[in-house]
Copies of this chain bind each other. A is one copy, B any other.
Amino acid sequence: MSKSLIPAQRRQKILEYLQFHQVASISGLAEMLGASEATIRRDLEWLEAEGIAERTHGGAVLTQRMPLEPPYARSAQAHPEEKHRIGLAAASLVRNGETIFLNSGTTTTQVMHHLLARQDLRDVTVITNNVTAALAAPSLGFEVVLLGGYFRPVATSVFGHFATAMLRQVSADRAFIGVDGITLKYGCTTPASGEAEIAQVMIERTHGSVIVVADHSKWGVVSNFEIASLESLDIFVTDMGLASEARSALEARSVHVLLAGERPGADGNGRGES
């Protein structure tokens, strides 16, 4: 099986761990990854040189100043498996002829991929500020409207006055909103104010269901800018890692929770890796 990880894999796992726990100890990482402490130490040194983490005695903490040029941070998608499944489940909610909003983020990009994979969809229009999602579109079959505005390379998305002004000229049947944090008290939040504004206007201009997509690690997280309170949401698509109390609390607030992978179904998507 997994004989031993290559350096890049190990560093990715460390980064994932850090993104979740903020802080990690050398001894803990060494045991978890099956490597010696000397190796972990070298990895942390590398992460520090990349500006991702900061060394401390006995371990490391995640760098605070997050949104400034993360050379590696972006490639390290946090929970690829979960996001994949969430995208699949979310995409299955769309019906023929609908117009949908899609904001930026790796999870919503997954939704786009699974939308494109659905052979049964016709006349679907996607309106998005997510450039990566737009790029995934084929030459035929889908109409994609890309919002205009200031380009944000780290997220490959656009934001700003032009984007929101353009949004106010359109509307959609559904909105798929990726968020960085979701709690009962503060609702959905994100660290970039421009992204928050886009998502707000998208929700405002959706006359059908508003669907938030996020893996379970986002539950209980509060970021700087509010996108929407829970009252604005209709469906929350996440993975099975969500605590059951969280689910009940959300349902009590009339947010329908959809756990991706709940019913495997006869999918046979084909890719079965370990």
Assuming the A-B contacts A23-B8, A56-B7, are A153 and B166 also in contact, with contact meaning beta carbons closer than 8 angstroms in the complex?
A: no
Known: A67-B156, A149-B146, A154-B139. Contact between A58 and B27, CB under 8 A? Answer: no
Q: Which of A74-82, A88-96, A200-208, A211-219 contacts B (4 or more CB under 8 A)?
A: A74-82
Which residues from B are CB-within-8-Å of A45?
none
Q: Which of A60-88 contact B (CB under 8 A)?
A: 60-65, 67-69, 71-72, 74-77, 80, 84
Which of these binds chain B: A14-22, A178-186, A188-196, A224-232?
Answer: A14-22
User: What is the distance, in angstroms, from A268's C-beta to the closest C-beta of chain B?
Assistant: 16
Within 8 A of B (CB), among A144-176: 144-151, 153-154, 156, 158, 162-163, 166, 169
Number of interface residues of A (CB under 8 A): 66
* Smallest CB separation, A90 vs chain B (Å): 17
A134 beta carbon closer than 8 Å to chain B: yes
Residues of B near A223 (CB, < 8 A) are: none
Chain B residues lying within 8 Å of A80, measured Cβ to Cβ, are 20-22
Q: Which residue of B lies closest to A135 (CB)?
A: B68
27 contacts between A and B (CB under 8 A): A3-B27, A6-B56, A6-B58, A7-B58, A8-B23, A8-B57, A8-B58, A9-B23, A9-B25, A21-B273, A32-B273, A62-B75, A64-B72, A69-B139, A131-B135, A131-B146, A137-B151, A138-B153, A139-B154, A144-B153, A145-B148, A145-B149, A145-B162, A146-B148, A146-B149, A148-B162, A148-B166
Q: How far is it, in angstroms, between the C-alpha of A12 and the C-alpha of B271 when the chains are bound?
A: 13
Query: A57 and B6: CB pair below 8 A?
Result: yes
Is A59 in contact with chain B by the CB < 8 A criterion? Answer: yes
- Which among B65, B75, B151 is the interface contact of A146 at CB below 8 angstroms? B151
Please tell me if A209 contacts chain B, counting CB pairs below 8 Å. no
Given contacts A6-B56, A9-B25, A69-B138, could you give 11 more A-B pairs where the C-beta distance is less than 8 Å?
A7-B57, A7-B58, A9-B23, A12-B22, A22-B80, A62-B75, A131-B134, A131-B146, A145-B162, A148-B158, A148-B166
**Given A17-B273, A143-B150, A162-B166: A22 and B156 interface contact (C-beta under 8 Å):** no
Residues on B with C-beta less than 8 A from A76 are 22
**B contact residues around A49 at 8 Å (CB):** none
Q: Does A252 contact B (CB under 8 A)?
A: no
B-chain residues with CB within 8 Å of residue A163 when the two chains form the complex: 148
